Amino acid sequence: MTGAQRRAQLIDVGRALFALRGLDGTTIEEIAAAAGVSKPVIYEHFGSKEGLYTQVVDVEFHILLRSVTTALAGDAGSRELLERAALALLDYIENSTDGFRILMRDAAPSQPEGAFSTLLSRIAARVEHIMAAEFEKRGYLPQDGAIYAQMLVGMVAMTGQWWLDARQPDKRTVAAHLVNLAWNGLSGLSIDPQLRSA
């Protein structure tokens, strides 16, 4: 195996074990045994178990961020962009279940605040301009788009976490319900919402 092939193999093996047991529950010996290498090979490529974990998180982080960013690109209308983003997350969960479990589970040493929360913040920043434009078009304050971007991303992310294990109904149905709540909720927004309780 070339160095690049070995590195890729170790990332794949690490992803599977970290998804199953987490960072603390996985030993360097287990990774080495599963990859059919000695511990020094892992140290040579990543420096430590934490170094491997950080690399796995980084790879998954960028795969999901790229997927959602791509879904939000283009000249589509706001509703279609929302549909694309919801489906992008559900596609990632379906096709990279281990990666999603890792992003949700442990904070990598390089991201003490947590990979998933960092990812959600980045996605919300990309959604914010879409929400601001939609708000302005409807006569609302564009700066309120930031608040609603956080709400929207949080709603999709929490539903994705639930669907990770439920897997029912199918992802297109889940995405349709997400969009139904978000879009129809947006269509009935009050320009100046107030709490009714004291």
User: What does the domain layout of the chain look like in residue ranges?
Assistant: 54-188
Q: Which fold has domain 54-188?
A: Tetracycline Repressor; domain 2 (1.10.357)
Helix, strand, coil shares, percent, the chain, to 5: 80, 0, 20
CA distance 153 to 97: 19
Confidence at residue 190, expressed as pLDDT on a 0 to 100 scale? 77
pLDDT at 107 exceeding the cut of 80? no
Name which residue leads in pLDDT, 137 or 115.
137
Q: What is the pLDDT of residue 73?
A: 85
Distance between CA atoms of 131 and 187, rounded to whole angstroms?
12
